[in-house]
Amino acid sequence: MATGGRRARHRPMPLLWFVPVLALLGLVTIYPAAFVVWMSFQKTNYFQLQGFVGLSNYVDVLGSDSFWSVATISLVYLAGSLVLSLAVGVAVALLFNAIGTTGGVLRVLTLFPWTLSMAVVGSIWLWMLNPSFGPVAYFLGEAGLSPGLMLGDPDLALALTILVTAWWSFPYVMVMVTATIQSIPAELYEAIAIDGGNAWHRFRYVTLPHLVPTLGSTGLNLAIIYLTLVTLLIVLTGGGPLDATTTLSLEIFRGTVQSVDIGPSAVLSVVVLAINIVLGAIYTRLTGRVTG
Amino acid sequence: MSSSMSARPLAGLAQRGLGLLVAAVVLGPIAWGLATSLKTEVMAVALPPTIIPSPLTFENYLGVLAYQGFLLELWNSTLYAVGAVLVALLVGIPAGYAASRFDFPAKKLVMMVILATSMVPGVAVLVPTYYVLDAFGLLNDRFVIVVLLAARVAPQTVWFLQNFIDAVPIEIEESAALDGANRLQILTRLVLPLIKPGIAAIAVIGIVTIWNDYITVAVFAPDIGKRTLQVALVNQVFDAVGISWSYMMAFAIMASLPVMILFGLVQKWFVAGLTAGAVKG
């Protein structure tokens, strides 16, 4: 929506206005992103670069079984969290929207988990899911179910991690969906009513078509968050048990803080970076953010 | 949907009940954490668990306050969050203004570059950033942390500002220009005051984002004197030997308190910031 500086009496020199932000982003984001690509082609010894080795790091990493198992876990974690938070987010948004003022109050309250840090979310749920003293294990036990080790159970840990992630992030979906629903012109619903449509018709032919773009962009945004999320996993499981919840990003984090051979970490970084840029490019398309 | 309420009051009542139930389930874990923080250590792990703490104790909160690192960590969290948002606004305002008001050949490219940087996740540049900061002896530097965090919120700051400035009628600026005001005066005295709510929304979202960061500070400022409340909280989880859950819940709540208050005061702006530019009207 550029309207142009047609009558700029003082020549605006437009690019100059972008210099500060470009300097900041160039230094902190663009340069390291380029550098990590360079690193991924280097033979490394801890944090020392020892010369160009072409694709050798890629061959090592992509040829290992552990990479594919970590990639699979990342995918399951991402898809599971996404499906759950989108479904619950839409359902709760519709429910709250249907109950007027009460819904508005409940919406504000329900948004609250989204404002909490992943460290706080993680510690609250670590306590909720504590197998010895936590309330979830206790009430499951009372109901005659054996809760077992919960987050310490390799078969359960990933599913529980997905549940916690959805608990924390579905409010974001709810807010985006609500904003979309409330922007739908009332005439469209009136038209359906005139045609004798029922609640299902209203949802199917008016609400849903309006929601699809929002769900696409919100889902992509969440996918990016889930793909690169580390803190919640560190707190909940530390990637365990038996690496059952180790994702690509957690592996990068470990590689960095443990200062092990960083060549492979650089390769993982490039993989995550590439996936992110693809997701981000689609997101940009969907939201039409670049104009002018 | 809403019209069915008057037609079928029972259905409306059921929806209300279901809504309350959903909110209770969502807020349950937070309430449980709060209850735990008000219990003694012994009571917190008692079975069956007590839902309402009795007797109520504030010993955990006093313990958090008495712990010598708390105030420094609170200060670090505040400094990083406020500092980074200020830096992001400082560099973002001219860019957002120019993006909205000027037309020039390279604009699309520049905006693409800014947007592209928001697709570079912090975790993907951990290794190279650590490498560079280590090489230049810049680890554990508060100023460096502020700059790193500012870059994380700068792209969205520019985009949101552009949206907000787009909504300001250009005619206002034109008449000021006729009165002899220059661009900078127009921006600072006219445009910025008009988009105050927008700037508030950007600031709130930015502060919450940065306040909640763990990775950046944990990796690049591991020094105990430079860490934030979030880093201290995660470290408590790591020191899980002999962990006191009631103390940890009190710490988690204290570490979230500024964000809770901010959210309570300005939840409208928070929502405005979340949805800005993301939902097409």
Of all residues in chain A, the one with the smallest CA distance to B131 is A47
> Rounded CA gap, A8 and B178, in Å?
10
Distance (Å) of CA B253 to CA A65, B196, B232: 41, 30, 13
Phi, psi at A93, each rounded to 5°: -60, -45
Average pLDDT, chain B: 90
Nearest to B120 by CA among A257, A27, A235: A27
Is A39 in contact with B131 (CB distance < 8 Å)?
A: yes
Is A133 in contact with B47 (CB distance < 8 Å)?
A: yes
Element (H, E) at A50: strand A48-52
Q: In this complex, which of A25, A224, A231 lies closest to B114 when CB atoms are compared?
A: A25
- pLDDT for A104-114, tens place per residue? 999 999 999 99
> Rounded CA gap, A154 and A261, in Å?
27
Per-residue confidence band for A5, with pLDDT thresholds at 50, 70 and 90: very low
Evaluate if residue B281 carries a pLDDT over 70. no
DSSP secondary structure letters along B68-85: TTHHHHHHHHHHHHHHHH
Amino acid at A272: V
Instruction: Count CA atoms closer than 13 A to A238's CA, side-chain side.
Output: 10
- pLDDT for A77-100, tens place per residue? 999 999 999 999 999 999 999 998
Phi, psi at A42, each rounded to 5°: -105, 145
Q: In this complex, which of A25, A118, A287 lies closest to B154 when CB atoms are compared?
A: A25
Q: Enter the tokens of residue B250.
A: 């009190």
- pLDDT for B110-145, tens place per residue? 999 998 998 899 999 999 999 999 999 999 999 999
- pLDDT for B34-74, tens place per residue? 999 999 988 888 888 888 888 899 999 999 999 889 999 99
- pLDDT for B156-180, tens place per residue? 999 999 999 999 999 888 888 888 8
Is B4 in contact with A198 (CB distance < 8 Å)?
A: no
Give the β-pairing of A42-45 and A48-52.
Answer: antiparallel
Q: Is A266 exposed, middle or buried (0-12, 13-18, 19+ CB in 10 A)?
A: buried
Q: State the DSSP code for A183.
A: T
Phi, psi at A52, each rounded to 5°: -70, 130
Evaluate if residue A101 carries a pLDDT over 70. yes
Evaluate if residue A291 carries a pLDDT over 50. no
How many C-beta atoms lie closer than 10 Å to residue A60's C-beta?
Answer: 14
Testing the interface with B: which of A48, A97, A117 to mutate, by most B Cβ within 10 A?
A117
Evaluate if residue A240 carries a pLDDT over 90. no
> Rounded CA gap, B216 and A168, in Å?
21
Is B83 in contact with B75 (CB distance < 8 Å)?
A: no
Per-residue confidence band for B152, with pLDDT thresholds at 50, 70 and 90: very high
Predicted pLDDT at A41: 95
Per-residue confidence band for A103, with pLDDT thresholds at 50, 70 and 90: very high
What is the maximum span of chain A, computed from C-alpha positions, in angstroms? 79
Contact B1 A176 (CB under 8 A): no
Of all residues in chain B, the one with the smallest CA distance to A289 is B277
> Between chain A and chain B, how many beta carbons pairs sit less than 8 Å apart?
340
Is A234 in contact with A122 (CB distance < 8 Å)?
A: yes
- Rounded to two decimals, what is the model's pTM? 0.91
Instruction: Count CA atoms closer than 13 A to A164's CA, side-chain side.
Output: 33
Interface of A with B in 261-280 (CB under 8 A): 262, 265-266, 269-270, 272-273, 276-277, 279-280
- Per DSSP, the three-state class of B147 is helix
Evaluate if residue A117 carries a pLDDT over 90. yes
> Rounded CA gap, B3 and A2, in Å?
41
How many C-beta atoms lie closer than 10 Å to residue A6's C-beta?
Answer: 8
Mean pLDDT of B24-34: 95
